[in-house]
Structure 1
Amino acid sequence: MATSVENSSTADLLPRLRRLLPSLPAGPAAVGRLILADPARAARLTIRDLAAETGTSDATVIRLARALGLAGFRDLRVAVAGAAGRLAAGPDILVTSDVARDDPPADVIAKLAAEERQAISDTAAGLDPATLAAVADAIARARRTVVAGIGASGLVARDLSAKLERIGLVAHAVTEGHQAMTTAVVLRPGDVLVGISVSGSTADVLDPMAEAAARGATTVAVTSRPRSDIARADHVLLAVAAQESTLRPAAMASRTGQLFVIDALFTLVAQRRFDEAKRAIADSYAALRPRHAGASRRPGPTTAAPPAPQEDHPVGPQEDHPVGPQEDQPVEQQEDHPMEPTEHPTAGPRGEQP
């Protein structure tokens, strides 16, 4: 049975609404977008006003409330009002990240920073500690862990795999559909397959997860859509995607929440293998230190290389090669052979040669 992270608390209403929005039907989603756009104004509207402004019905508004775990419109209105009050007391939470074509760099930076902070905050609010701990336990004791992700999610899969390998665990990232399936068919009880999919409907992730589950492996889903097919996994971790826009497609908008989930999960796994993790990280650091030091020394000889031949090559011939012949061989010739002509005139020999 899948472990869910959704609850009916009103404290995190807006984060839960953002998480649910992509998987809601068109009507409730329209009401949800109106609430997210301006919670303070939405809290003042009646149920008929909400329905009229979104082109829906009273029943649709109630469906949204129940999707959020609330009893009805009255609870929804109270929760929205509370969320609006908390937003008013906070900093630049309402800054939109919808970057316009002509936004100056300072505005782009501010909008993206606000959106990244919101994505992390929403993801943290939606993570169930018990679910995260259960996944960490499974990975810490697993025979091996396979992390599957396609496209941009593949980058996140590689990140988790590399982190687990760094602390001595057997982990492998698969980022191609056929590879994911051929890997899944050899998984057994005691293995873990983590599937990462923003939409929760990527076949190249869903099919290998189903195959792994059928063979007894533990399956974990990291997704932005709790109502998608991937939520059938044994454990579900929700990574809230940031707002998509023309200049910020889903692949970019989803990465921040995903990486936060991965970092939180890895930290819990490292806690469970604290001694081994500490030793493995120290060993890998020690092994890599000379390589980093060597890299820092390389620029020295490289920059000194051009003058070196000018100093060594001319000096070499002057000090080594000429000195050797002058002191060793030529010296003997200069002392013996040249002295013979000095002591014995060369007129005879020169006269004899002709």
Structure 2
Amino acid sequence: MTRRVKETFAGERDSAPGPSAMVGTLGTPPAPAALAAKVRTLAPSMTRSMQRVAEAVAGDPAGCAALTVTGLAELTGTSEATVVRTARLLGYPGYRDLRLALAGLAAQQQSGRAPAITTDIAADDPIADVVAKLAYDEQQTLADTAAGLDTVQLGAAVTALVAARRTDVYGVGASGLVAQDLTQKLLRIGLMAHAHSDPHLAVTNAVQLRAGDVAIAITHSGSTGDVIEPLRVAFERGATTVAITGRPDGPVTQYADHVLTTSTARESELRPAAMSSRTGQLLVVDCLFVGVAQRTYETAAPALSASYEALAHRHRS
């Protein structure tokens, strides 16, 4: 990858991505199961007109699958161009491909394999309902994240971690806890890793990175300055950089060689973003760790055994 900052994010938060910007998001079109995850992930960063299209296809995939591009534009009060742009942003070459995915998603929902989204948790919900709703949301977040995760990018990040001299992971708040989880896992298989939640320490450590090192930024919003800045420094120092984010169009991706996208359950008053984002992030972190452990099995397995034995001995003492 060319080591240069991607040309985006200069005052475009309220404008629609242009066609040239969206071409880069296209690869293999998402499977029907991933379509709903894409809509949930990308809708907050869309323009209002594109959101109307996305909400329509997510809310009634069967009905929208039966509409022409003109029909969907009329239904949502937008234009044909907006419909096409929305389809491309969701990962489809054109509206025809989106219609096929909608038909597939509708079939899954009718078969019961793609249930409707649960309602929000209310302040007066019985605790049994809270458990059921949280369990459903967690399961949906995991399924959406798995469906939307780019395994090529994941494999490349694993390769970089296996070869890294050292790995720095940046995260604040709930994402900082996920950063600690990843570094602890890597340390237990004998790899050098550090988690940084203090922005000043993160930057001063990023300055020491170089080619052959890895820096990982974890930020659901994709716009956390305390996480973006050390990643920028690491990027400019030549380290391989990875962003784990719920916003694949967020500013953090300017400085990421590899982007791993997470999904979240819908936010509510009693389920803030810090809760809903953590589940998807932990899945990605576990995928990274298992991938690394697989490729370093001859050394990772003994290291894990040694750490288990050391902890068991401590508890026996």
Describe the SS at the equivalent of 1:195.
strand
Indicate the residue corresponding to 2:5 in structure 1: none
Following superposition, the deviation at residue 56 of structure 1 comes to 3.0
Of the three residues 34, 43, 60, the one matched with 2:82 is: 60
Question: Counterparts of 1:263-278 in structure 2 under 5 Å?
Answer: 263-278=286-301
Describe the SS at the equivalent of 1:283.
helix
Indicate the residue corresponding to 2:195 in structure 1: 173
Indicate the residue corresponding to 1:286 in structure 2: 309
Are the counterparts in 2 of residues 165 and 171 from structure 1 also a CA contact under 8 Å?
Answer: yes
Deviation readout 1:186-207 (Å, 9 max, x if unpaired): 1111111000011111111111
When you count helix as a share of all residues, which structure comes out higher?
1
**Residues 193 and 97 (structure 1), Cα distance of their counterparts in 2 relative to 1, 3 Å cut:** farther
Describe the SS at the equivalent of 2:165.
coil
Describe the SS at the equivalent of 2:244.
strand
**Residues 74 and 128 (structure 1), Cα distance of their counterparts in 2 relative to 1, 3 Å cut:** closer
Report % sequence identity: 51
Structural RMSD (CA): 2.2
Q: Does 1:8 align with 2:38?
A: no
Indicate the residue corresponding to 1:89 in structure 2: 111
Are the counterparts in 2 of residues 6 and 16 from structure 1 also a CA contact under 8 Å?
Answer: no
Residue 128 of structure 1 aligns to which amino acid in structure 2?
Answer: D
Are the counterparts in 1 of residues 26 and 91 from structure 2 also a CA contact under 8 Å?
Answer: no
Following superposition, the deviation at residue 208 of structure 1 comes to 1.0
Of the three residues 156, 166, 174, the one matched with 1:144 is: 166
Question: Counterparts of 1:234-313 in structure 2 under 5 Å?
Answer: 234-294=257-317
Following superposition, the deviation at residue 290 of structure 1 comes to 2.6
Residue 132 of structure 2 aligns to which amino acid in structure 1?
Answer: A
Are the counterparts in 1 of residues 26 and 93 from structure 2 also a CA contact under 8 Å?
Answer: no
Q: Distance in 2 between matches of 1:207 and 1:221?
A: 12
Following superposition, the deviation at residue 289 of structure 1 comes to 1.1
**Residues 212 and 71 (structure 1), Cα distance of their counterparts in 2 relative to 1, 3 Å cut:** closer
Q: Distance in 1 between matches of 2:92 and 2:179?
A: 35
Deviation readout 1:228-279 (Å, 9 max, x if unpaired): 1222311111111221112111111101100000001000101111121111
Farther-moved stretch of structure 1 (135-144 vs 42-51)? 42-51
Q: Distance in 1 between matches of 2:220 and 2:160?
A: 22
Are the counterparts in 1 of residues 178 and 282 from structure 2 also a CA contact under 8 Å?
Answer: yes
Q: Distance in 2 between matches of 1:47 and 1:173?
A: 48
Are the counterparts in 2 of residues 97 and 112 from structure 1 also a CA contact under 8 Å?
Answer: no
Q: Distance in 2 between matches of 1:186 and 1:237?
A: 24
Residue 206 of structure 1 aligns to which amino acid in structure 2?
Answer: I
**Residues 248 and 116 (structure 1), Cα distance of their counterparts in 2 relative to 1, 3 Å cut:** same
Following superposition, the deviation at residue 10 of structure 1 comes to 4.2
Task: Identify which of structures 1 and 2 has the higher relative contact order when contacts are C-alpha pairs closer than 8 Å and 6+ apart.
Answer: 2
**Residues 122 and 31 (structure 1), Cα distance of their counterparts in 2 relative to 1, 3 Å cut:** same
In our comparison, the structure showing a higher alpha carbon Rg is: 1
**TM-score, normalised with respect to structure 1:** 0.77
Farther-moved stretch of structure 1 (172-181 vs 35-44)? 35-44
Following superposition, the deviation at residue 47 of structure 1 comes to 4.5
Following superposition, the deviation at residue 4 of structure 1 comes to 6.8
Structure 2 residues not aligned, in runs of 5+: 3-23
Indicate the residue corresponding to 2:136 in structure 1: 114
Q: Distance in 2 between matches of 1:21 and 1:30?
A: 9
Q: Distance in 2 between matches of 1:191 and 1:44?
A: 50
Describe the SS at the equivalent of 1:190.
coil
Deviation readout 1:87-115 (Å, 9 max, x if unpaired): 22135721415112222222222222111
Following superposition, the deviation at residue 57 of structure 1 comes to 3.1
Residue 232 of structure 2 aligns to which amino acid in structure 1?
Answer: A
**Residues 247 and 50 (structure 1), Cα distance of their counterparts in 2 relative to 1, 3 Å cut:** farther
Farther-moved stretch of structure 1 (56-65 vs 175-184)? 56-65
Q: Distance in 2 between matches of 1:229 and 1:253?
A: 21
**Residues 97 and 109 (structure 1), Cα distance of their counterparts in 2 relative to 1, 3 Å cut:** farther
Q: Does 1:217 align with 2:239?
A: yes
Are the counterparts in 2 of residues 5 and 126 from structure 1 also a CA contact under 8 Å?
Answer: no
